Amino acid sequence: MTTSAETQHSARSRYLLIALVFAGTALSYLDRQVLALLKPTLVSTFSWTDQEFAHLGSAFTFATAAAVLFSGWLVDRFGVRVAYGAAVALWSLAGMGHAAAATVSEFVMARIVLALGESVSGPATVKSTAQYLPVEERSLGLGIIAAAPSIGAIVAPLTIPVIAVLVGWQAAFLMTGALGFVWVWLWFLGTRHLKNVQKAAPVAQNNWQIFGELLRDRRTWGITGAKMLADMVWWFMLFWIPDLFSRVFHLSQAELGAPVALTYIMAAGGAISSGLLFPALLRRGFTVNTARKTSMVIFGLLILPLPLALAMPSPWLAALLIGLALFAHNGFVTNIFGATADIIPLNRVATVTGLGSVCGNLSGMAMIEFAGWSLTNGYGYYPMFAIASGAYLAGTLVLHLMVRNLVPASELGD
């Protein structure tokens, strides 16, 4: 019989898990934003072109795409605790390595190693919530964690430019990387007593057979297609938004931090709202299928006005519209993660999440390169914003066509 004290201890352990995964995710976005925020300084120092800067972004996303499917398998094979802790140590070391880079090639190598470590974050997040959080806590837990990228992206523009101005751009990379090693110590200390609420089915000896079954499963491609279209927009926004405020609204390195931070403050609200919206719809009698897809349509509609941001007379009005789009993105993606944890068997959750991230990183790389081409050839930001505005409704349609009824895996006996 479980005592009240044991129940309270188990709950505290789960809340600590959410806090640690939240902090790890925020750190990953803090680390990856440093380069984008220091673009004016680095371009001046190393004489980079827009296309060369785009290559740095696409190198990161391509490396993540190449690594993340393996990372999903790694999390399924070795468990969240070991895989995630080792990954954060690796990407923190790589983040600090940027401070020693002096050429585009050296920055590319540092970005690739950073990507290898950060590729574990998504699969580890979804796997940990599926394994350690009960169903009734899962959506809110995912919503809280999904706000973490926005928190990292809020902290970055408010701190990184200041650090760079006061003590140099190298210090910005060193200080953010060092925070990761503090997190690793807390992670291994704080996750010692977690208990599973769901156990994975035994993994067959033939891994290729399991992978073949995964690829033949329509649920895999429904999740992956929706994630690919959403991530395409997110990677583009994350990498190019600081430049947009500098280029379109002529803000200086010191001035662009505040409007960029506003966009990500709004993005954080989207993740939290999604974590609350889905269970609210369930309480109203919606099925899992209807609640998930209704939520995704709502968030898809919110992003439609995005192209109007480019016509705004002030950077603050533009930031509000871009922030609304990021609010919608985080709400949408939280539902994708929730659907993955709901409908995918536990022993495949991290791998399917990884596959979705592979496709999302590849589409993001294409969008980043397209942005570099568009800016170089005088077309500006409008083509990317037009594509982004319709991507989420298209993603919802893909999921619906591939999986007409989202049924929890536990109900199917998977």
Q: For the segment 231-250, what is each residue's pLDDT rounded down to a tens digit?
A: 999 889 888 888 888 888 88
Least confident of 54-63, 205-214, 259-268, 292-301: 205-214
Can you tell me the mean pLDDT for 214-224?
A: 86
Identity of the residue numbered 200: A
Least confident of 137-151, 287-301, 339-353: 137-151
Crossing angle of helices 104-118/80-97, nearest 10°? 170
Q: Is residue 9 pLDDT above 60, yes or no?
A: no
Q: Which residue has the higher pLDDT, 176 or 392?
A: 392
Domain count, the chain: 1
Average pLDDT, the chain: 82
Asked whether residue 94 is domain-assigned, the answer is yes
Asked whether residue 199 is domain-assigned, the answer is no
Asked whether residue 247 is domain-assigned, the answer is yes
| Rounded CA separation 142/276 (Å) | 10
Can you tell me the mean pLDDT for 180-195?
A: 82
Asked whether residue 27 is domain-assigned, the answer is yes
pLDDT given for residue 201 in this prediction: 46
CA nearest 42: which of 62, 27, 57, 21?
A: 57
Q: Each residue of 108-136: pLDDT tens digit?
A: 888 888 888 888 887 788 778 777 777 66
pLDDT given for residue 65 in this prediction: 74
Give the pLDDT band of residue 296 (cuts 50, 70, 90): very high
Quickly tell me which residue has 């609420």 as its tokens: 197
Q: Is residue 53 pLDDT above 90, yes or no?
A: no
Q: Each residue of 57-109: pLDDT tens digit?
A: 777 777 877 777 678 778 878 888 888 999 999 989 998 988 888 887 888 88
Residue 244 belongs to what domain range? 4-193+207-400
Can you tell me the mean pLDDT for 37-66?
A: 78
> What is the domain-level CATH number for residue 223?
1.20.1250.20
For 355, residues 6+ apart whose C-beta sits below 8 A from its C-beta are 69, 72, 214, 220, 224
Give the pLDDT band of residue 5 (cuts 50, 70, 90): low
Can you tell me the mean pLDDT for 207-215?
A: 66
Contact between 263 and 157 (Cβ < 8 Å): no
CB count within 10 Å of CB 3 equals: 8
Asked whether residue 365 is domain-assigned, the answer is yes
Asked whether residue 160 is domain-assigned, the answer is yes
Give the pLDDT band of residue 414 (cuts 50, 70, 90): low
CA nearest 412: which of 369, 348, 335, 316?
A: 348
Q: Is residue 278 pLDDT above 80, yes or no?
A: yes
| Rounded CA separation 371/120 (Å) | 27
Asked whether residue 124 is domain-assigned, the answer is yes
pLDDT given for residue 69 in this prediction: 65
Q: Which residue has the higher pLDDT, 182 or 125?
A: 182
Asked whether residue 236 is domain-assigned, the answer is yes
Q: Give pTM, 2 decimals.
A: 0.69
pLDDT given for residue 10 in this prediction: 66
Q: Each residue of 299-314: pLDDT tens digit?
A: 999 999 999 999 999 9
Residue 73, classed as helix, strand or coil, is helix
